[in-house]
Amino acid sequence: MRLAIERLAVERGGRPLFSGLSFTLGPGELLVVEGRNGAGKSSLLRAIAGLLHPSEGTITIQSEAIAGRTAPQPEQGPAGPLCHYLGHLDALKPTLSLARNLRLWRHVEGAPDMTIETALEMVGLDGLGSLPAAWLSAGQKRRAALARLLLVRRPLWLLDEPTAALDIAGEALLGGLIVRHLSAGGVAIVATHQPLPIPASTTLMLGAPQR
């Protein structure tokens, strides 16, 4: 998996957030995006995912070769179903049980990876699958959102403030999940204020430095 961003510019409501942004990421690389509030960290992730149209620039993605076949040609355009996007919201239906909530996301495009039980175990929510999502704490909901990343394999992870509401053990767990993803040849872009428990390959500072 290779991701190349060239001269990317994003504006919100006519106000430019950033422009001329270029970087490339190869297999196993982690990019940490930092910057003050409103610098455009979330917008950058949403633009790469395809949830927001950049005003300028190109996104090029070359997904990995699959078992003996040559790697497909690089394709221009947002990541779409090639990425896992973890936003500020946890996308859990409060009345449905945790396992039912996750069941839907096992069918999305991508190679199936883990069963729901294993994924819940990985994020430390084992035994809670039958609980309605409304009963979970903020941190547990965040862990459930992390479990969703494990159900189906997608080469690009776009994580927006993934440590929000997580406890210390949760942060370590997140670090472990990212390392696992990277060592399988994946690419991750994490927008965060908190220092991550794992070293970044590259750090990107968006916007003017904090005053």
Q: Report the residue from 80, 139, 175, 207 that binds other proteins according to the rule CB under 8 A.
A: 80
Q: How far is the CB of 92 from other proteins (least distance, A)?
A: 7
HEC assignment per residue over the chain? CEEEEEEEEEEECCEEEEEEEEEEECCCCEEEEEECCCCCHHHHHHHHHCCCCCCEEEEEEECCCCCCCCCCCCEECCCHHHEEEECCCCCCCCCCEHHHHHHHHHCCCCEECCCHHHHHHHCCCCCCCCCEHHHCCHHHHHHHHHHHHHHEECCEEEEECCCCCCCHHHHHHHHHHHHHHHHCCCEEEEECCCCCCCCCCEEEEECCCCC
Q: Report the residue from 7, 16, 76, 93 that binds other proteins according to the rule CB under 8 A.
A: 93
Q: Report the residue from 39, 99, 105, 122 that binds other proteins according to the rule CB under 8 A.
A: 105
Q: How far is the CB of 2 from other proteins (least distance, A)?
A: 19
Nearer to other proteins, 7 or 107 (CB): 107
Q: Looking only at residues 125 through 164 of this chain, which bind other proteins when binding is defined by CB under 8 A? A: 148
Point out which residues pair with 48 in neighbouring strands: none
Q: How far is the CB of 111 from other proteins (least distance, A)?
A: 12
Distances 8 to 15, 40, 76, 163 between C-alpha atoms, Å: 15, 12, 13, 26
Q: How far is the CB of 98 from other proteins (least distance, A)?
A: 13
Q: Does 89 bind other proteins (CB under 8 A)?
A: yes
Q: How far is the CB of 60 from other proteins (least distance, A)?
A: 18
Closest by CA position to 34, among listed 181, 211, 155, 209 = 209
By CB under 8 A, the count of residues binding other proteins is 30
Nearer to other proteins, 94 or 195 (CB): 94
Q: Looking only at residues 4 through 33 of this chain, which bind other proteins when binding is defined by CB under 8 A? A: none
Q: Does 165 bind other proteins (CB under 8 A)?
A: no
The residue ranges that bind other proteins (CB under 8 A) are: 46, 49-53, 79-81, 83, 85, 87-93, 95-96, 100, 103-110, 148
